[in-house]
Amino acid sequence: MNERKQEPLLEAVHLKKYFSLAKKKKLHAVDDVNFTIYRGETLGLVGESGCGKSTVGNVVMRLLPHTDGELLYDGKNIFDATKEEKKEYCRKMQIIFQDPYSSLNPRKTIRAILREAYEIHANDCFKGEDIDKLVERLCESVSIPLNLLDHYPHELDGGMRQVVGIARALSLEPEFIVCDEPVSSLDVSIQARIINLLIDMKKERNLSYLFISHDLSVVRHISDRIAVMYLGQIVEMAETDELFKNTMHPYSIALLSAVPRINLDQKVSRIVLKGDVPSPVDPKPGCRFAPRCWMACEECFDGQTPPLREVSPGHFVACKFAETSAEKAKSAETSSLDKI
């Protein structure tokens, strides 16, 4: 894995996305986000609803215009791409959406849905090839039964629809795929199948994923590295095992302890955060997490948001108290019950 890491595929540099609201207010959906995805790697992006993780995915796919920053694909900023280059990026970068019910056109058959991408690129990379053959080969690779090709999306169950969504994303043999909560609307037994398919496809085709999800156990299962987002910013980023073993940001610690788990031998104590996620509209200065943080001191509330700093090799945390948080968490957990 370490060898592969030498080659960055996608780099986000100071990526920002603000949404303008009435009365000159600005919603800071993505605020100065930096990350790198290496070739053949899966970067997991976790966070709660409204933290901006899907917006990152949409900006990366250029489904939303960015506000500021750069996005380097193979070292080139894709925001300044020419029209031809853009079409090429469309081929190399694909997205799988969350809801397999609304992401497939209900008026097209599965065959038509899967043909579409090939037809658009029929004059460049698929010149002279029989599109029907390509579609059939694609279906075989993700095990869609060929007799489903002439059916409409509503005739398929949720799991199969998501497989069609994945097949569509794979059709142009991309290098990079954004998976935006691809399994969160599926039942457990179906979810496992989709996760396995995504892992298989990645190995087979040396894909890179940006895997967006709110489910920590799913992200842990599929990712090589994980970035935790809170209110438009990445607060912690590390290799998967490192992040779960040495969780440092107070928010990540709370998030991890909040997941209900099957643990028969010991009752787990947890940190229960007070209140809700604050509004991302014109956020207050200082650390974004400070109002809900159990470690916050006065200086956390003013000045700059703490920058991501490398605490140990490859482990980035945006908190002043990163080194001591784990110990403090232990004492905080015991007193969590009376906090609510």
Partner 1 sequence: MEQLLEIKDLRVQFKTERATSNALNGVTLSIGKGESLGLVGETGAGKTTTALSILRLLPDAARILDGSITFDGQNVFDMTGAGNDLSSRQYKKLLEKQGISETEMRKIRGNKIAMIFQNPLTALNPVFTVGEQIAMVLRVHRGMGKREAMEYAGKLLEQVGIASYRVKDYPGQFSGGMRQRVGIAAGIACNPELLIADEPTTALDVTIQAQILELMKQLQTQHKTSLLMITHNLGIISELCQKVAVMYGGQIIEYGTVDAVFRDPLHPYTRGLLGALPNLEGDRERLVAIPGKIADPQNLPNGCYFNPRCEHKCAVCESKQPEMIKISDDHFVACFQAKGGV
Q: Is 276 in the site for partner 1 (CB under 8 A)?
A: yes
> CB 330 → partner 1: shortest distance, Å?
17
Q: Using CB under 8 A, which residues numbered 180 to 239 contact partner 1?
A: 187-193, 195-196, 199, 214, 216-218, 220-221
Coil, strand, or helix at residue 309?
strand
Q: Are 208 and 177 in contact (CB under 8 A)?
A: yes
Q: Nearest distance from residue 89's CB to partner 1, in Å?
A: 31
Examine residue 159 and tell whether it contacts partner 1 (CB under 8 A): yes
Residue 169 or 243 with smaller CB distance to partner 1: 243
Q: Give, to the nearest 10 degrees, the angle between helix 250-258 and helix 325-334.
A: 40
CB of 152 to partner 1, least distance (A): 17
CB–CB of 113/175 below 8 Å?
A: no
Residues ≥6 apart with Cβ < 8 Å to 285 = 301, 302, 303, 304, 305
Cβ 76 to partner 1, closest distance in Å? 34
- In whole angstroms, the minimum distance from the beta carbon of 265 to partner 1 comes to 10
Report the b/e string of 268-281 with b at 16+ CB within 10 A. eebbebeeebeebe
Selected from 49, 123, 147, 304, the binder of partner 1 by CB under 8 A is 49
* Sheet architecture: strand order including 225-230: 93-96, 176-180, 208-213, 42-46, 225-230, 233-239, 315-317, 309-312
Q: Is 161 in the site for partner 1 (CB under 8 A)?
A: no
Of 56 and 255, nearer to partner 1 (C-beta) is 255
| Length of the chain measured in residues | 340
Closest to partner 1 by CB, 264 vs 304, is 264
Number of residues engaging partner 1 in binding (CB under 8 A) = 43
H-type helices in 224-315, by residue range? 240-245, 250-258
Residue nearer to partner 1 on the CB measure, 123 or 189: 189
Helices (H), the chain: 53-60, 83-92, 110-120, 131-141, 158-170, 188-205, 216-222, 240-245, 250-258, 325-334
Task: Report, in Å, the least distance between residue 246 CB and partner 1.
Answer: 14
| Residue 116 interacts with partner 1 (CB under 8 A): yes or no | no
**Does residue 1 bind partner 1 (CB under 8 A)?**
no
The sheet that has 8-20: what strands, in order across it? Answer: 26-38, 8-20, 68-73, 76-77
75, exposed or middle or buried, with CB in 10 Å at 0-12, 13-18, 19+? exposed
Q: How far is the CB of 80 from partner 1 (least distance, A)?
A: 37
Q: Is 125 in the site for partner 1 (CB under 8 A)?
A: no
Query: Which among 42, 71, 66 has a CA at the least distance from the CA of 55?
Result: 66
Q: Does residue 290 touch partner 1 according to CB under 8 A? A: no
Closer CB to partner 1, 92 or 193, in the complex: 193
Rounded to whole angstroms, the maximal C-alpha distance in the chain is 70
User: Interface residues for partner 1 in 243-262 (CB under 8 A)?
Assistant: 244, 254-262
Query: Quick one: which of 80, 127, 264, 304 contacts partner 1 (CB under 8 A)?
Result: 264
Chain contacts with partner 1 (rule: CB under 8 A)? 48-49, 157, 159, 187-193, 195-196, 199, 214, 216-218, 220-221, 240, 244, 254-264, 267-268, 270, 272-273, 276-277, 336-337, 340
